[in-house]
Structure 1
Amino acid sequence: MNPIRTPARLLSVGALGAALTLGCLAAPASAVGPSTATGNPGIQLDQLDRGLVAAGTSEGVFLSWRLLGPEATGSSETGLTGADFNVYRDGTRLATVTDSTNYLDPSGTSGAAYTVRAVVGGVEVDASAPATAWNSNFVDIPLKKPADGVTPAGQAYTYSANDASVGDVDGDGQYEFIVKWDPNNSKDVSQVGYTGNTYVDTYKADGTLLHRIDLGVNIRSGAHYTQLLVNDFDGDGRAELMIKTAPGTKSTNFNADGSVAAESFITLLAGDLAAGHTNADDYRMSAADYYRHMVATFQGWTAHPEVKSGRWPATLEEAFGIPARYQYPLSEADAASLTNYFMDVYAPARSARNNLRAFEGFIVSGPEYLTVFEGATGKELKTVAYEPGRHDDGLMWGDYAMARIEPGNRVDRFLAGVAYLDGKKPAAVFARGYYTRTTVAAYTWDGRNLAPVWDVGSGWTPMTNPFNDSPHGRDGTDPVYGKLTTQGFHSLSAADVDGDGRQEIVYGSATLDDDGSLLYSSSGILPPGSAAPGQEARLGHGDAMHVADIDPARPGKEIFTVHEGATYAPFGYAMRDAATGQVLFGDYSGKDTGRGMIGDVDPSVPGIENWAIGMQSAAGEKISATTPGTNMSIRWAADMTTQLINGSGDQTPTIDDWKRGRLLTATDTRTNNGTKGTPSLVADVVGDWREEMLVRTADSSALRMYMSTEVTNHKLYTLMHDPQYRAEVARQNTTYNQPSYTDFYLASDMDFAGVPLRAAWLPGSVKALQHVLEDLVESGDVGGPVASQLTATVQQAGRSVADGDPAKAAKTLQRFVKFLAQQKGPDQVSPAARVALQYNADNILRAFRD
């Protein structure tokens, strides 16, 4: 397999020589003279290399590469302006591309080596790593499948690759691939049974396994339990991994030859060690364990705070609606008698699906942690208690209150995401609960401390009887956040909905402001035919949510959601104003409306279309009774329309266009997550602004990445340099995977003047500048004492980045540029070298100007 790309520095010796021989030495305006900086960095994003990839097609070799965010300086009718690009095959220039970041070489061959070099003001200022062509429009990233296993109940299981994320874990400007492995007995939280362990691997693009995290027996496997947060949280230019852990979680680091370099369990908290917990503990419940658990719960009934306060029945007989019989506190024998009645009579009478004698495999006790791992090695950096804790097995959460009794269900519904809460640096967001009690906590990581930003919760949902009540749709007991209950979805989004430059957390039908305050909780009036016509009700829970600038004719963003509350929900689907939560349009369905999607699937219709019950325009006009798929969308086409990924279970995944039909059949691959049919990841991982589809091969021997090879004349910076999109990619794997959306309107009828030109702080850019300088020194274009001075200065800036002090790094780079400008002799700094160094340094310092 040809690698996606090989490590290379931004400006090679050959690139510099080409710049000199071309005679293009007029320096771009942005690269002339020293820069001034305020010391206040812009929003932090990933420093990426050119991302050049090549793919063999029937028409030749297709090339695709990145325009980086800081390189964009303006717009045209078809795209952004800024850097242009010279394309080289085997060192010979083929073309200068100005209107896009792709090129088709009709005479290309599989063995040819391609590079692209950015051109600014006629000067080549960098060069990509060389790329040779894939055999087709995909490349395989080899995976190492975990060994099969057997549950305590004697059931065998095997593994398949599941969701994935990306992050630059080693600071080389290239993304690594973080892959979650699920056993074939993974469960929804409502399903009974043991599961195998969950594993999380980190791979280089060539399939080198850097490390594997075994979450252990005390983290149940399934989409709702484990989400991967991968991002550079501390701003050192290298991504970390944050994940929920427990005693028994172990990280293994590998050598380049695949042998084990080191392995260790996570560090248990001091209080847990004092209480006798160890990494050898197994908190999984057998059916006998659960029976004993319920006996103990009933024995402690009179001591429960809700019983003591009078909010719950004083006796279990009263709760079950049977004659009083026992003395309280209950003896063990009487508690056992009531447990038998509860499991064998009361529960089955509530629902034929209630078989509590078979309840096993759940984890309802033991410590729960949140751990930060170093992205490159898997080394544990910090472990803290997961907040909030489970409290109980779901009794207070309403898991026993409905007709369908599901211990361990609502209590173990987890969400996670990344958000730029301060408009500058990524924070980690972890949540527990969304049907009844709802809790959300945000953290920052500075390389040493995992510091809480805010921690909010709805409070408990009041119940008069925990064994027979309807806890949904009620305000929680918290006077400020009580209306968060029942509003959460199986995902969340981070988006700047109020235009203040800081991202909010869209938590389904409610939104938390960047400071953690409740921005709004959306409701509507129940229509005729509903459960309570005329009454106000929450929009409520749903499975699919999309936050974007959907209607460019309206200011701000919109939120499109579907709802499963049936006759208790005002809408089956709704379009809301993202800033206020006001419903713009929607339809009542009276049933669980489970799937919905948005996308520019019809370029003749203004705005982005939406569909759940038929298809509507962005403004709510009915377009079609039939709809495209709802599994996952992808920006695949040259014309900036949206395509849909279809196929679930054992079906072959496809990419389909609503107007043109099938564009891709991903033979011998599979999607994930059962009927949801979601790829491992859809994101702008390499190449131009279009998204790649990552799916597992049918045997999970590789993660296969497909790229579009349609030649486009649209030029846009990598979507990963849009903060909403970067945050959404980080949370895409959360529970029911949802597409990632940009902060700006992105569709076939977009106005490119509306694309923000952000001066982002890219921590790895200082290391990239250092590599440029090293190449220039090696080539002799920077020499003498000047070389030593410039090298020492940029190294000092790099140390400031590693220390988490970007402002200090900026001040050091100001000295670098000033010193560079003072060097007049071409024997010390060649004209082309001066331009390249000034341009790259200036792009960094742009992030620090007002």
Structure 2
Amino acid sequence: MKIKYIFITSALFLSQTIFAQRQMEYLKRGIVAIPADSGVFVSWRLLGTEAQNTHFDLYRTENNSTIKLNSKPLLNETNFLDKTADKGKNYTYFVKSNTKNQEVDQDFGKYSANQKPYFSIPLKTPEGYTPNDASVADLDGDGEYEIILHQTGRSKDNSQKGMTDEPIIQAYKMNGTFLWEINLGKNIREGAHYTQFLVYDLDQDGKAEVVMKTADGSKDGKGKFIGDPTKNYVNENGMILSGPEFLTVFNGETGAEINTVNYEVPRFAGSLNPTDEEMTETWGDAKGNRLDRFLGAVAYLDGKTPSVIMSRGYYTRTAIAAWDFKDKKLSLRWLFDTESSEENKKYRGQGNHNLSIADLDNDGKDEIIFGAMTVDDNGKVLNSTGYGHGDALHVGDLDPSNPGLEIFDIQERFDDAGAHFRDGKTGKVLWKLPSTVYSKAGKFQGPGRGLSLNIDPRYEGSESWAVGAGLKGIYNTKGKKISEKNPPANMGIYWDGDFLSEILDGTVVSKWDWKKEKSNLIFDAKNFQCESNNGTKKNPSLVADLFGDWREEVIYRTSDNKELRIFSTTIPTKHRLYTLMHNPQYRLSIVWQNVGYNQPPHTDYYLDESVKEIPKPNIYTVIPKK
């Protein structure tokens, strides 16, 4: 293991001497105080720009009287269980450190008497709507995250006829302050495959922007319409198959439109109102099922600055556009289109209901993992298995014995590759699992779920499993079945403090017991009147490292749709990690988590109990101008 560790850190050091640093969000300590069984649990961030051995002292203030809680500097952890606290009193907690930038320590966490074990965000949910997917970013440059929330009314899958309600995007501060609302209007259909909202600091001014597909009648956060609000392109089936299509960047602080361009690619070149024959010729049908499948992400294509990735189609034709945002304007960086050449046509139909962003070829620049196909930073295909469309996708250092990153992907195909595990850089399939059970309901479809997480300490690397089409059991990194049982195949979360991942399914956080081959309940948000989203997909609104130490938070809506509730662990840990949000791949995973079928975030490094130190992120941050 020592040899492997030296290899990993040496490779990373070499890359850092060659590759440019990425600018990432300026964050403060993110101190939180939460009631625990035996006191008040306090945790805070170790920032990616700090030394791993940064010293911390924790202080508690009550009625203008301040005491230090630790007798020796805290060197191994970024959390503390205050057993001397009276949970019926009000406190303020803050830390002091020996970090170079003392401004990040000018932060505090408040504990309120008899506080609930969650943080509540009261919502302005429109009548008939339900809080759905969320994202986070620093919209106003204060070093804290804001929440951007998709409110959904009547919603339809692309394969379903019927009217939908107008998609609504709202922004809130963590203290519950409502910031703005964007209404995408009647000419944007509501559904998981239509509205992909991206939130990130695109122009690197320290404040995030919001990017979405828009149309005539979309209304920004200031009440200004985009295009012509009198136009209605909804047909008798509830589909929108004509009219102009736009891509808009909004100001994250105010919701105001900044810049709008035509969406690339259109339904049919040269026509806003294509005929059924033209749409069928290009996409395979004229019903909107294939042509209106959208995905989105943010990637550092030059290794230094973020670009917007927006796509259209993955069952047949696939078009992926990369946009740069500079001087408040969007400009097309490149366009990959399977119809642009005979060579590209062989990559038709390779996309998933999701995508991922990672530096697969270790050149410091991101690639777009588009299901079975990977598109390089220059818009050309890096590799493709040719296995076609699927529903789940995981990218990370899943097998530390294999150089670089790996991909676990599942396919909607009834053959020898219902799921497969491949090398990220080369696309070489390392092992695969056949679909074995034919389902009349699913026709010739393969599995519908798949997950890859490190849940079993007996085996190095992540364990992988899939559900459906006869696939059963857990597999190690070499494709060996290590259990006949199937844990839930939904999402993962770091919660209990060790370096194994927990499993997140619906409102439940559980721990896989590899000895008894079963999942043990740790936490259930249903006990706090919370619900998951997206029907049988059972997603939270978001899972991400929002504040506190490196463990992840999870956001759910309440059953009455009036609140978001944020849950954070209160289990002490001696492990210290940089905030996951300063790991470039993980941070970009949070950007695309709401896209299509939600998938959990992954870091670009491997984590287990044998890892003594995580390499320092090759990043820098800039304090926003006030």
Normalised to the residue count of structure 1, the TM-score between the two structures is: 0.66
**Given the alignment of the two structures, is residue 168 of structure 1 paired with residue 168 of structure 2, yes or no?**
no
**Given the alignment of the two structures, is residue 452 of structure 1 paired with residue 430 of structure 2, yes or no?**
no
Instruction: Within 5 Å, give how 1:336-735 maps onto structure 2.
Output: 360-391=237-268, 392=274, 395-396=277-278, 398=280, 407-459=287-339, 478-522=341-385, 538-567=386-415, 570-590=416-436, 591-612=445-466, 613=471, 614-647=473-506, 653-659=507-513, 661-667=520-526, 668-735=529-596
CA separation in 1, counterparts of 2:111 and 2:204? 34
**Secondary structure at the counterpart of residue 566 of structure 1:** coil
Instruction: Within 5 Å, give how 1:748-827 maps onto structure 2.
Output: 748-753=608-613, 755-763=614-622, 765=623, 767=624, 798=625
**Contact 1:118 1:125 (8 Å CA) reproduced:** no
Q: Which amino acid aligns with 1:574?
A: H
Q: In the alignment, what sits opposite 1:65?
A: 44
**Given the alignment of the two structures, is residue 104 of structure 1 paired with residue 64 of structure 2, yes or no?**
no
1:129 to 101, 104, 107: 107
**Contact 1:547 1:560 (8 Å CA) reproduced:** yes
Deviation at 1:398, TM superposition (A): 4.8
**Contact 1:52 1:63 (8 Å CA) reproduced:** yes
Q: In the alignment, what sits opposite 1:310?
A: none
CA separation in 1, counterparts of 2:202 and 2:508? 35
**Contact 1:210 1:377 (8 Å CA) reproduced:** yes
Q: Which amino acid aligns with 2:360?
A: V
**Contact 2:355 2:368 (8 Å CA) reproduced:** yes
Write the deviation string for residues 572-615 of structure 1: whole angstroms up to 9, x where unpaired. 11000011111100111145211100111112222110001211
CA separation in 1, counterparts of 2:610 and 2:376? 28
Write the deviation string for residues 202-258 of structure 1: whole angstroms up to 9, x where unpaired. 101121111100000000001100011000000100000000000100123xxxxxx
**Given the alignment of the two structures, is residue 82 of structure 1 paired with residue 32 of structure 2, yes or no?**
no
Distance verdict in 2 for CA 1:738–1:401, change over 3 Å: closer
Instruction: Within 5 Å, give how 1:223-302 maps onto structure 2.
Output: 223-252=192-221, 262-266=222-226, 268=227, 278-286=228-236
Deviation at 1:447, TM superposition (A): 3.7
Instruction: Within 5 Å, give how 1:32-71 maps onto structure 2.
Output: 42-71=21-50
**Secondary structure at the counterpart of residue 110 of structure 2:** coil
**Contact 2:136 2:147 (8 Å CA) reproduced:** yes
CA separation in 1, counterparts of 2:55 and 2:102? 9
Deviation at 1:401, TM superposition (A): 9.5
CA separation in 2, counterparts of 1:124 and 1:425? 27
Q: In the alignment, what sits opposite 1:473?
A: none
Percent of aligned pairs with the same residue?
A: 43
Runs (4+) of structure 1 exceeding 3 A deviation are 123-126, 392-402
Distance verdict in 2 for CA 1:399–1:677, change over 3 Å: farther
Larger helix proportion, structure 1 or 2?
1
Q: Which amino acid aligns with 1:43?
A: R
Normalised to the residue count of structure 2, the TM-score between the two structures is: 0.88
Relative contact order, higher structure (CA 8 A, sep 6+): 1
Deviation at 1:146, TM superposition (A): 1.3
Stretches of structure 2 lacking an aligned partner (at least 5 in a row): 1-16, 269-273, 437-444, 514-518
CA separation in 1, counterparts of 2:373 and 2:612? 31
CA separation in 2, counterparts of 1:140 and 1:109? 22
2:147 to 177, 183, 188: 177
Q: In the alignment, what sits opposite 2:5?
A: none
CA separation in 1, counterparts of 2:43 and 2:275? 51
CA separation in 2, counterparts of 1:447 and 1:719? 30
**Secondary structure at the counterpart of residue 410 of structure 1:** coil
Q: Which amino acid aligns with 2:54?
A: A
Distance verdict in 2 for CA 1:750–1:491, change over 3 Å: farther
Q: Which amino acid aligns with 1:219?
A: I
**Given the alignment of the two structures, is residue 139 of structure 1 paired with residue 116 of structure 2, yes or no?**
no
Deviation at 1:758, TM superposition (A): 3.1
**Contact 2:411 2:447 (8 Å CA) reproduced:** yes
2:157 to 161, 182, 188: 188
CA separation in 1, counterparts of 2:177 and 2:168? 16
**Contact 1:608 1:618 (8 Å CA) reproduced:** yes
**Secondary structure at the counterpart of residue 263 of structure 1:** coil
CA separation in 1, counterparts of 2:78 and 2:369? 33
Q: Which amino acid aligns with 2:234?
A: R
Q: In the alignment, what sits opposite 1:203?
A: 172
Write the deviation string for residues 383-442 of structure 1: whole angstroms up to 9, x where unpaired. 00001011247755659998xx77110010000001111111111100000010000001
CA separation in 2, counterparts of 1:547 and 1:745? 11
Q: In the alignment, what sits opposite 1:93?
A: 68
Distance verdict in 2 for CA 1:541–1:124, change over 3 Å: closer
Distance verdict in 2 for CA 1:368–1:627, change over 3 Å: same
Deviation at 1:751, TM superposition (A): 2.2
Stretches of structure 1 lacking an aligned partner (at least 5 in a row): 1-37, 73-80, 148-157, 253-261, 269-277, 287-359, 460-476, 523-537, 648-652, 768-797, 800-850
CA separation in 1, counterparts of 2:558 and 2:169? 17
Q: After alignment, is 692-701 or 370-379 more displaced?
A: 692-701
Write the deviation string for residues 533-589 of structure 1: whole angstroms up to 9, x where unpaired. xxxxx211100000010011111111001111214xx40110000111111001111
**Secondary structure at the counterpart of residue 69 of structure 2:** strand
CA separation in 2, counterparts of 1:93 and 1:488? 54
Q: After alignment, is 434-443 or 136-145 more displaced?
A: 136-145
Distance verdict in 2 for CA 1:623–1:139, change over 3 Å: same
CA separation in 1, counterparts of 2:23 and 2:426? 27
Write the deviation string for residues 39-60 of structure 1: whole angstroms up to 9, x where unpaired. x962011100100001001110
**Given the alignment of the two structures, is residue 212 of structure 1 paired with residue 181 of structure 2, yes or no?**
yes
**Secondary structure at the counterpart of residue 346 of structure 2:** helix
Q: Which amino acid aligns with 2:434?
A: Y
